[in-house]
Amino acid sequence: MNNHTYCSMVIFGATGDLAKRKLFPSIYNLYKKGTLDKNFAVVGVARREWSDEVFRENVTASLQDSNISIEGDLTEFLSHFRYLAFDVTNAASYQDLHELLNSLEQEFSIPGNRMFYMAMAPEFFGTIASYLKSEGVTNEQGWNRLIIEKPFGHDFASAQKLNEDLRQAFAEDEIYRIDHYLGKEMVQNIGVIRFANAIFESLWNNRHISNIQITSSESLGVEDRGGYYDTSGALRDMVQNHMIQMVALLAMEPPIRLTTEEIRSEKIKALRALRPMTKDEVKQYFVRSQYGPGSMNGKEVPGYRSEPKVNPESRTETFVAGKLMIDNFRWAGVPIYIRTGKRMQEKSTKIVVEFKELPMNLYSKSENNVHPNLLIIHIQPDEGISLILNGKKIGMTDKTTPAKLDYCNHCIDGINTPEAYEKLLNDAIHGDATNFTHWDEVALSWKFVDVISEAWKEDTSSEFELYPAGSMGPKAADELLAQDGFHWWPIGDDSDYSI
């Protein structure tokens, strides 16, 4: 065990949903696997007046409610947990925190390494960072790392302001901006698929790929997050971060080394090549929509405007589809289509890479149904890769049929892929920022997205096409591809790929 991984973790917002559902189970898994051994402490910080005991009971309940397996007695694990009732705008709270950390570092022989996890409303991030600095909480011998949740601002200007506030207290290399998609096994696998497989990397360009499609669909509606979501929408909630990050990983050039700096620098270069749009062009490239009433699994569900805490006349988009062009040598002319939405037919995140047809195909399409080759990267809920090839139809015929080769992560016995949060926490403890977003990436994606949200905000006159809950989105999203001669590939597990 390396001393550099001995640390205290301060969770701001420890009574909240994220801490309960993701952070505590991830910390427990890291403990079970030995990443966190005896030399760690967790300080939960939130408004409520809880005792350590009540906090520990809540941590225990969160582990029991999650789907992780608990091994034996939790007493030793829980002895590392402390709670501090906290007012984030009061300097005295930070002094208490400082004292508590000093004593925990003694108790658990932790060499001053401190991780601050912001799991609360973003309006407090700047305030907390500046108090941590002014009250000397960051002022120790070991490392300081700030982990920060989305949303990172709501547009470029607010993100820049937040970044400046954080930078008063933390250096860029101490700030770990979470994009939990980057912790997902198959998102991390994009690099391996591309750079460790000669058959793909040599085809990974505009000579061989006709288009790429990225879908991230949710079947849930806004649930009880209507208040937040109505001020955000799918563009800010999903496109600016997760979707654009996946685009960057698919489009980047091979890094010269697998280091954080080299990978980030290639991602940033890819994002700089994103074709900018004028507000007038947004209609040509982007589609927004909102779910209306519909049915999910045979059950009637209300439309977005009837959801709790949502403005009944809301024009917030719950669905976005877009066409992104990367204007560089590798990708000129290859559209990358994205779509994401709530209350769609099923929950699924998938990337489909569609390869070009052969220059001359002896098995003509009309008679023999020759299919373009597809590489499908399944990100969630199932994880794996499928490759769609053409095979000969068995029998006395020269007809072809799509042949699907599957590699499925879950099918490997005993392998339960770790949660994204567990991996990201582990990376942060080890000081590996590769799977976190650099400020330059955040800035470039906000600048790209801001044009779209401004165009939509100004366009108050056009009709808002709704899509029925339980569908795959509005017709306009299909037309976006149809005008280029493409269509969305199905994303269901038992999809039929014959055309």
Contact between 152 and ligand NAD by CB under 6 A: the answer reads no
Angle separating helix axes 244-251 and 185-195, nearest 10 degrees: 20
Residue among 3, 4, 17, 223 that touches ligand NAD (CB under 6 A): 17
Contact between 15 and ligand NAD by CB under 6 A: the answer reads yes
150 belongs to an annotated ligand binding site: yes
Residue 23 phi/psi, 5-degree rounding, is -75, -50
- List, in sequence order, every residue forming a beta bridge with 384; answer none if it has no partner: 378, 408
Residue among 7, 14, 182, 433 that touches ligand NAD (CB under 6 A): 14
- 331-363 b/e (C-beta count within 10 Å ≥ 16 → b): beebbbbbbbbbbbbeebbbbbbbeeeeeeeee
| Three-state SS at 22 | helix
Residue among 78, 119, 209, 235 that touches ligand NAD (CB under 6 A): 119
Closest CA to 101 of 114, 89, 88: 114
Of 18 and 334, the one with the shorter C-beta distance to ligand NAD is 18
180 belongs to an annotated ligand binding site: yes
Distance, in Å, from the CA atom of 318 to the CA atom of 221, rounded to the nearest integer, reads 9
Of 15 and 163, the one with the shorter C-beta distance to ligand NAD is 15
132 belongs to an annotated ligand binding site: no
Contact between 86 and ligand NAD by CB under 6 A: the answer reads yes
Interface region with ligand NAD, contact rule CB under 6 A, candidates 8-16, 200-208, 310-318, 481-489: 8-16
Contact between 16 and ligand NAD by CB under 6 A: the answer reads yes
Residue among 57, 87, 201, 357 that touches ligand NAD (CB under 6 A): 87
**Scanning the structure block, which residue is given the tokens 């420890």?**
14
Helices (H), 1-51: 17-18, 24-33
H, E, C per residue of 389-419 = EEEECCCCCCCEEEEEEEEEHHHCCCCCCCC
Contact between 120 and ligand NAD by CB under 6 A: the answer reads yes
Of 149 and 450, the one with the shorter C-beta distance to ligand NAD is 149
Residue 201 phi/psi, 5-degree rounding, is -60, -35
What Cα–Cα distance (Å) separates residue 456 from each residue in 217, 243, 269, 279, 286? 22, 19, 27, 9, 10
Q: Which residue in 154, 242, 371, 378 is the catalytic one?
A: 242
Locate 293 and state its tokens. Answer: 């009433």
Of 105 and 149, the one with the shorter C-beta distance to ligand NAD is 149
Residue among 112, 122, 191, 431 that touches ligand NAD (CB under 6 A): 122
485 belongs to an annotated ligand binding site: no
- 443-468 b/e (C-beta count within 10 Å ≥ 16 → b): bbbbebbbbbbebbeeeeeeeebbbb
Distance, in Å, from the CA atom of 335 to the CA atom of 212, rounded to the nearest integer, reads 7
Distance, in Å, from the CA atom of 117 to the CA atom of 9, rounded to the nearest integer, reads 7
Contact between 13 and ligand NAD by CB under 6 A: the answer reads yes
Contact yes or no for 108/40 (Cβ under 8 A): yes
Interface region with ligand NAD, contact rule CB under 6 A, candidates 113-121, 263-271, 280-288, 425-433: 113-121
Contact yes or no for 41/72 (Cβ under 8 A): no
Locate 34 and state its tokens. Answer: 């030995």
Distance, in Å, from the CA atom of 103 to the CA atom of 402, rounded to the nearest integer, reads 64
19 belongs to an annotated ligand binding site: yes
**What is the smallest separation between the CB atom of 301 and ligand NAD, expressed in angstroms?**
21
Locate 226 and state its tokens. Answer: 């209507």
**What is the smallest separation between the CB atom of 282 and ligand NAD, expressed in angstroms?**
26
432 belongs to an annotated ligand binding site: no
Contact between 121 and ligand NAD by CB under 6 A: the answer reads yes
**What is the smallest separation between the CB atom of 342 and ligand NAD, expressed in angstroms?**
14
Of 342 and 371, the one with the shorter C-beta distance to ligand NAD is 342
Of 46 and 212, the one with the shorter C-beta distance to ligand NAD is 46
Contact yes or no for 427/26 (Cβ under 8 A): no
Q: Is 242 noted as a catalytic residue in this protein?
A: yes
Residue nearest to ligand NAD (CB): 16
* Site for ligand NAD, residues 29 to 58, rule: CB under 6 A: 46-48
Of 354 and 422, the one with the shorter C-beta distance to ligand NAD is 422
Interface region with ligand NAD, contact rule CB under 6 A, candidates 114-122, 131-139, 215-223, 265-273: 114-122
370 belongs to an annotated ligand binding site: no
88 belongs to an annotated ligand binding site: yes
218 belongs to an annotated ligand binding site: yes
* Site for ligand NAD, residues 124 to 143, rule: CB under 6 A: none
184 belongs to an annotated ligand binding site: yes
Residue 482 half-sphere exposure toward CB, CA atoms < 13 A:
5
Of 48 and 410, the one with the shorter C-beta distance to ligand NAD is 48
Contact between 274 and ligand NAD by CB under 6 A: the answer reads no
Binding site for ligand NAD (CB under 6 A): 13-18, 21, 46-48, 86-88, 119-122, 149-151
Q: Which residues are catalytic?
A: 242
Enumerate the known binding-site residues for substrate. 180, 184, 218, 237, 342, 347
Binding site listing for NADP(+)? 13-20, 47, 87-88, 150
